Chains A and B, each alone.
Chain A
Amino acid sequence: MKKVSILDYISKRKKRIAVGTMIKIAGTFAELLLPIIMAYMIDEIAPEKNIPLLITWGIIMLMCAVVAWGGNVKANRMASKVARDTTREIRNDLFSSTLYLSASQTDEVTVPSLVSRLSSDTYNLHNMIGMVQRLGIRTPILLIGGVALTFTVEPVLALVLLAIVPLLTLIVIYISSKGIVLYTSLQKAVDVMVRKVRDDYTGIRVIKALSKTEYESSDFRKINENVVSNETRAGLTMGITSPVLNMLLNLGMTAVIIVGAYRVSSGNAKVGEIIAFTSYFTIILNAVISISRIFVNISKGSASAKRISAILNMENPLVAHPELSENINSDEYIAFENVTFGYNGSPALSNVSFSVRKGESLGIIGATGSGKTTIISLLLRFYDPDSGVIRVDGRDIRSYDEKELRNKFGVVLQNDFLMADTVKENIRFERDVSDSDVESAAKYAKAHDFISATEHGYDTGLTARGTNFSGGQKQRMLIARALAAKPDILILDDASSALDYKTDAMLRKTLISNFPDTNIVMIAQRISSVRFADKIIMLDKGCVAGYGSHEELIRNCEIYREMQNTQTETEDGTNE
């Protein structure tokens, strides 16, 4: 696949950009003509005392000013349109690339980084695309055009201008590049400060309990000091720009007058031309100051463009392989055959095999980090195994179209996700599920009662992450979501940890008796939660340490038995 670059998006609109630039050039030139016309009026027309001609040229000047105005407005608006269309397209593409990244790519980039690429980076880009077209084009035109036009009027004076322009440009570039470095380190200092505030906000109870407020305050003083000194350094550096630029341009203007005096004295120049030159200096001064403003924008924008195109160029390696779709005739509905997998080289599962028939339930149990959730991630094809085969309904899951595969599942993940939307929409979750199905799913999930008890029932809004519902209520809504589309396979990853024992037990019973054809896959910490399952996998450090029914495991699997013992001990307190 060809590499996508941000420039491709921009160059799609090159016609419009070209037209806009032409208009901008025309407008800017009209503006540059003003001082020359003025010099002409003073030097040539006024001495002839030709009043009508003087007024005619005055009107021509006015027309130039109007053209400059209209041209610039039009060009700016065209530029805004280009910036808008480009940004819209890039942002949409970036969002869909982000959603279609594979899980390992998401892990690598991390979600907060993806969020900031979508928000601040696209914003910087939008800013830059607009700014460059508006100011970034205007300033070079003014500089180059100004020098070119003045050469036609009075070449020697133009040399003074020509000498000063590169000097100005160098100074602006030098200071801005220093400024960017300083602002980056300032940003780092600010990040530390923000982290401190966040840290202390969350730990305020501990801080108060340990009477640590003075300690924290003096700790913050150091961090604050660091921010302040960074800020001061950056401010002092950037503060040089404007006095130095002002001084150089004003000195240049003085030079023009002195050189001009010699030229006038030798009859090579006229006084009005000197006035025109002083005007050019003022125009150029303003342009250079504005370009020093957009410099930071450009460097920010191009850094952002890099970060964006990095995502756009990521290819999801998990493509469908229909050639693997030979059907194996067997009554196994879910099967793992010698599956081995690691996250970036650190092994998570090795040689895992198991299978369940249609409608059978599966419990997965084991210590933290033993690979329970990894099994689910592989089954949903968030990752491909390093070796081995996973089959669902007799077909290698790599042969499925992604949607076809995932539509078979209803899933509740650990710390699962609720949207700031109504209860109904959270259960429906963008699928074609009728209101009555939503309600019956909520009933099965033991969520109907508390939902109906709220003022607006199923239309009650959730706050972001559902903070207006309790942990147990959230889990029940999530289970309702998983049941709503009548899945073939129901995955519950530690999905009832916040439920009280009674509700949890009731829920389990309901699921088993009402969804006989659904394969329930249940991950849990405690044996009491999975002992009902037809098959249980006991995982230990990524390996299957035991596989069978509860009774079989009690008989044959030592780790399982141990776990059972410690858990009942903990629960009964018999060791007290």
Chain B
Amino acid sequence: MNKNQVLPSLNKKSKRQIIARLASYFVNYKFSVLAAFALMLGSNLFALLGPYLTGKAINAIGLESGVDFNAVFYYCALMAVFYVISSVLAYILSFLMIRLTQKIIRKMRQDVFDKMISLPVGYLDRLQAGDLINRISYDIDTINASLSNDILQAATGVITIIGAFVGMLLISPPLTAVFILTVPLSIFIAIKRSKEVRPLFRKRSAKLAELNGFSEEMLSGLKTIKAYAREDNIIDKFKERNEDAVDAYFEADYYGSLIGPSVNFVNNLGTVLISTVGSLMFLFGYILIGDISSFLLYARKFSGPINEYANIMGEIQSALSAAERVFRLLDEDGEPADPPGAVTLSEPRGDVSFSDVQFGYDPDKIIIHSLSFDAKAGQTIAIVGPTGAGKTTLVNLLMRFYKPQSGVISLDGTDIELYTRKSLRGAFSMVLQDTWLFEGTIFSNIAYGKENSTKEEVIAAAKAAHMHDYIESLPDKYDTLVTDGGVNLSKGQKQLLTIARAMLSPAHLLILDEATSNVDTQTELLIRDAMYRLMKGKTCFVIAHRLSTIRGADLILVVRDGDIVERGKHYELLKKGGFYSEIYRAQFE
């Protein structure tokens, strides 16, 4: 829930590894990187010549003999040309850097996405959507900002400091010695900022996230709060959290507000020292007037990067943590490659057998103990039990979303682990309870069930699923967009669409979750009919809610708390008088 987990600071070794890995993304662009550094160097050196020329020009004005206009024009012309060149180079540089980092970022984003869809379902189940979204957007953005800005800024900073220092030294070593007095102050401010102010900012975003989490939660229960007339109590709770949030913001601001003026103060102090001592030196003829001017300009340039240092380091730090999160995801093992010699399953008959299968999502908590059963081609296996009892576990195993701890699941007599994953999954079609439709047209949502499906096939599937007439009644027919803002499909209609999708698939095995709640009788009848059509001639694993399905099933597996507690046919189970008969009878009480 909390997006702002306080990040553990990275140790030096892992930091170096992350930097090396980030650098490896640049390897393909060696030429661009070199060009960027050349441009950066050029732009900065030209800019650094400016103050020197300013001083020269002013010296030419301040001569005892009057103004030397030739010299003034000469230096000013050079200055103008240099400044223009510097700016042009700077723009080319930023152009180059943006292109370059965008290429890298694009690759990184694609890598993350591809990794996400290749991860085992079991791993994804443990991640949250928000977590993935954070990585693919915020984390990668942070890396992006850092790559395109911070590195250059840091390099520029180093060049500027060295260049400005050399400039100052060349003009007047004594004045440089005086100016150096202000440097410890700049460093002090930079340290203070990173040590004391940054944690406050971190606290600020933590408190804010807490507040936002609270309002999001409460607004999701708005109707309930109103129904119980509890508005005032909730508002009071909000006020407490808001107080914390604005206080944390204020605290960060309070100390943060020292920084800007203090940086200015150090600059101004430099000006004061240089003016006073410079005037004194000027008075005794140790320095030319224009040199004071150059010196002042260099001094301002010198302190800039020192003051930015803390900022840049902070940004690089967070970029490294972001990169670490992204890399950690990229390093997760995807679904293991099919073993060598894996068979491509084609035209399966549909005999499925479980022998001695043991499984637990947590290896220490086995929930299926030694399950064995056979399903012959064309049979229906009903899985029955209360909600939340773990009926989808069998589906997860069949589709190889999860792997059993021991035992063998076989299809047509061969261990399913020995088939290629793609062909195994292709042998099943699936209708799940949470009907998954994506943003796109109705056509593409149905056509998703089979590669290169034709318009005719899609329409035939929609007809078989009793959706054709409804779709035709929509203004855009099959091109209607399925979105939040688009057509409002009812739960039942969504279910019918996914049935149509499954109809398209040529698979011989079917996994079906009969969800019946919240659908009206009319739709229920349509769904039932469509499902029967879908089941015809297939080996079916049905998470069953309808008694008609259950009674017709060749085998019923009764699930309770994740475990299979009873198995058999309807009448056998009723006779047994166990959990199944309890569930069954309760309905008619």
B227–A204 CB distance below 8 A: no
Q: Which A residue's beta carbon lies closest to that of B257?
A: A76
Q: Is the interface of A mostly helix, strand, loop or mixed?
A: helix
Give me 13 other A-B pairs in contact (C-beta within 8 A), A65-B272, A95-B215 excluded. A35-B271, A37-B275, A62-B272, A72-B264, A81-B250, A114-B219, A275-B293, A368-B518, A380-B226, A406-B227, A471-B388, A501-B584, A501-B589
The answer to whether the Cβ of B292 comes within 8 Å of any Cβ in the partner chain is yes
A368–B520 CB distance below 8 A: yes
Give the chain A neighbours of B422 by CB distance below 8 A.
211
Give the chain B neighbours of A571 by CB distance below 8 A.
546-548, 587
Q: Which A residue's beta carbon lies closest to that of B522?
A: A367
A258–B76 CB distance below 8 A: yes
Q: How far is the CA of A41 from the CA of B144 in the complex (A)?
A: 48
Contact with B along A27-59 (1 / 0, CB 8 A): 100010011011001100111010100110110
Contact with B along A528-540 (1 / 0, CB 8 A): 1000000000000
In the A-B complex, the 9 residue pairs with the closest CB atoms? A573-B548, A417-B221, A367-B520, A502-B586, A58-B276, A470-B388, A76-B257, A72-B261, A501-B586
A239–B426 CB distance below 8 A: no
The answer to whether the Cβ of A382 comes within 8 Å of any Cβ in the partner chain is yes
B228–A429 CB distance below 8 A: yes
Give chain A nearest CB distance to B141 CB in angstroms.
9
Q: Given contacts A253-B54, A494-B518, are A431 and B448 in contact (CB under 8 A)?
A: no
Q: Given contacts A92-B238, A115-B216, are A197 and B113 in contact (CB under 8 A)?
A: yes
- Residue of B387, B448, B582 near A471 (CB, 8 A) is B387
The answer to whether the Cβ of B99 comes within 8 Å of any Cβ in the partner chain is yes
Give chain B nearest CB distance to A13 CB in angstroms.
14
Q: Which B residue's beta carbon lies closest to that of A407?
A: B229
A235–B133 CB distance below 8 A: no
Give the chain A neighbours of B436 by CB distance below 8 A.
202-203, 205-206
A411–B224 CB distance below 8 A: yes
The answer to whether the Cβ of B297 comes within 8 Å of any Cβ in the partner chain is yes
A570–B586 CB distance below 8 A: no
Give the chain A neighbours of B430 by CB distance below 8 A.
205-206, 209
Interface size in chain B (residues, C-beta < 8 A): 152
The answer to whether the Cβ of B191 comes within 8 Å of any Cβ in the partner chain is no
Q: Which A residue's beta carbon lies closest to that of B79?
A: A254
Q: Which residues from 192 to 242 on chain A have a C-beta closer than 8 Å to any C-beta of chain B?
A: 193-213, 216-217, 220-221, 224-225, 227-228, 231-232, 235-236, 239-240, 242
The answer to whether the Cβ of B225 comes within 8 Å of any Cβ in the partner chain is yes
The answer to whether the Cβ of A353 comes within 8 Å of any Cβ in the partner chain is no
Q: Which residues from 162 to 193 on chain B have a C-beta closer than 8 Å to any C-beta of chain A?
A: none
Give chain A nearest CB distance to B270 CB in angstroms.
10
The answer to whether the Cβ of B95 comes within 8 Å of any Cβ in the partner chain is yes
Q: Which of B223, B235, B546, B585 has the most chain A CB within a 10 Å cutoff?
A: B223
B133–A194 CB distance below 8 A: yes
A257–B490 CB distance below 8 A: no
Q: Which of A46, A261, A494 has the most chain B CB within a 10 Å cutoff?
A: A261
The answer to whether the Cβ of A413 comes within 8 Å of any Cβ in the partner chain is yes
The answer to whether the Cβ of B66 comes within 8 Å of any Cβ in the partner chain is yes
Q: Which residues from 189 to 214 on chain B have a C-beta closer than 8 Å to any C-beta of chain A?
A: 208, 211-213
Give chain A nearest CB distance to B486 CB in angstroms.
13
The answer to whether the Cβ of B102 comes within 8 Å of any Cβ in the partner chain is yes
A367–B521 CB distance below 8 A: yes
In the complex, identify which listed stretch (B240-248, B360-368, B370-378, B411-419) lies at the interface while the others stay far away.
B240-248
Q: How far is the CA of A224 from the CA of B108 in the complex (A)?
A: 10
Q: How far is the CA of A567 from the CA of B587 in the complex (A)?
A: 12
The answer to whether the Cβ of B487 comes within 8 Å of any Cβ in the partner chain is no
Give chain A nearest CB distance to B369 CB in angstroms.
21
The answer to whether the Cβ of A460 comes within 8 Å of any Cβ in the partner chain is no
* Interface size, A (range): 35 or more
The answer to whether the Cβ of A148 comes within 8 Å of any Cβ in the partner chain is no
A84–B247 CB distance below 8 A: yes
User: Can you sample 6 A-B contacts with CB below 8 Å?
Assistant: A118-B219, A261-B60, A274-B61, A406-B227, A407-B229, A525-B520
The answer to whether the Cβ of B24 comes within 8 Å of any Cβ in the partner chain is no
Q: Which B residue's beta carbon lies closest to that of A471?
A: B387
Q: How far is the CA of A411 from the CA of B552 in the complex (A)?
A: 39
B105–A261 CB distance below 8 A: no
Q: Which residues from 130 to 148 on chain B have a C-beta closer than 8 Å to any C-beta of chain A?
A: 132-133, 136-137, 144, 148
Q: Which B residue's beta carbon lies closest to that of A119?
A: B212
The answer to whether the Cβ of A319 comes within 8 Å of any Cβ in the partner chain is no
Give chain B nearest CB distance to A316 CB in angstroms.
11
Contact with A along B60-73 (1 / 0, CB 8 A): 11100011010011
Q: Given contacts A69-B264, A194-B133, A247-B84, are A228 and B238 in contact (CB under 8 A)?
A: no
- Residue of B118, B124, B254, B275 near A77 (CB, 8 A) is B254
Give the chain A neighbours of B91 by CB distance below 8 A.
239-240, 243-244
Q: Given contacts A265-B67, A528-B587, are A95 and B102 in contact (CB under 8 A)?
A: no
Give chain A nearest CB distance to B170 CB in angstroms.
18
The answer to whether the Cβ of B50 comes within 8 Å of any Cβ in the partner chain is yes
B116–A200 CB distance below 8 A: yes
Give chain A nearest CB distance to B249 CB in angstroms.
6
Q: How far is the CA of A66 from the CA of B524 in the complex (A)?
A: 80
Q: Given contacts A244-B87, A257-B58, are A417 and B521 in contact (CB under 8 A)?
A: no
Q: Is the interface of B mostly helix, strand, loop or mixed?
A: helix
The answer to whether the Cβ of A453 comes within 8 Å of any Cβ in the partner chain is no
Give chain A nearest CB distance to B318 CB in angstroms.
18
Q: How far is the CA of A236 from the CA of B95 in the complex (A)?
A: 6
Give chain B nearest CB distance to A151 CB in angstroms.
21
Q: How far is the CA of A505 from the CA of B517 in the complex (A)?
A: 17
The answer to whether the Cβ of A437 comes within 8 Å of any Cβ in the partner chain is no
The answer to whether the Cβ of B399 comes within 8 Å of any Cβ in the partner chain is yes
Give chain B nearest CB distance to A483 CB in angstroms.
12
The answer to whether the Cβ of B230 comes within 8 Å of any Cβ in the partner chain is yes
Q: How far is the CA of A207 from the CA of B297 in the complex (A)?
A: 62
The answer to whether the Cβ of B38 comes within 8 Å of any Cβ in the partner chain is no
Q: How far is the CA of A12 from the CA of B551 in the complex (A)?
A: 73
In the complex, identify which listed stretch (B279-287, B349-357, B455-463, B470-478) lies at the interface while the others stay far away.
B279-287
Q: How far is the CA of A86 from the CA of B212 in the complex (A)?
A: 18
Q: Given contacts A69-B264, A197-B113, A567-B521, are A209 and B399 in contact (CB under 8 A)?
A: yes
The answer to whether the Cβ of B231 comes within 8 Å of any Cβ in the partner chain is yes
The answer to whether the Cβ of B258 comes within 8 Å of any Cβ in the partner chain is yes
The answer to whether the Cβ of A323 comes within 8 Å of any Cβ in the partner chain is no
Give the chain A neighbours of B584 by CB distance below 8 A.
501
A197–B238 CB distance below 8 A: no
Q: Which B residue's beta carbon lies closest to that of A135?
A: B260
Contact with B along A60-103 (1 / 0, CB 8 A): 01101110110011001101110111011001100110111001
Give chain A nearest CB distance to B30 CB in angstroms.
21
- Residue of A242, A418, A472, A575 near B548 (CB, 8 A) is A575
Give the chain A neighbours of B332 by CB distance below 8 A.
none
Give the chain A neighbours of B6 by CB distance below 8 A.
none
B208–A570 CB distance below 8 A: no
A54–B522 CB distance below 8 A: no
Q: Given contacts A232-B98, A236-B98, are A257 and B253 in contact (CB under 8 A)?
A: no
Give chain A nearest CB distance to B91 CB in angstroms.
4
A204–B279 CB distance below 8 A: no
Give chain B nearest CB distance to A414 CB in angstroms.
8
B386–A472 CB distance below 8 A: yes
Give the chain B neighbours of A463 by CB distance below 8 A.
1
B215–A115 CB distance below 8 A: yes
Give chain B nearest CB distance to A171 CB in angstroms.
13
Q: How far is the CA of A88 from the CA of B239 in the complex (A)?
A: 8
A210–B449 CB distance below 8 A: yes
The answer to whether the Cβ of A264 comes within 8 Å of any Cβ in the partner chain is yes
Q: Which A residue's beta carbon lies closest to that of B118?
A: A213
Give the chain A neighbours of B268 by CB distance below 8 A.
31, 34, 64-65, 68-69
The answer to whether the Cβ of A498 comes within 8 Å of any Cβ in the partner chain is yes
Q: How far is the CA of A106 from the CA of B547 in the complex (A)?
A: 41
- Residue of B129, B219, B229 near A202 (CB, 8 A) is B129
A65–B121 CB distance below 8 A: no
A504–B586 CB distance below 8 A: yes
A498–B387 CB distance below 8 A: yes
Give chain A nearest CB distance to B487 CB in angstroms.
15
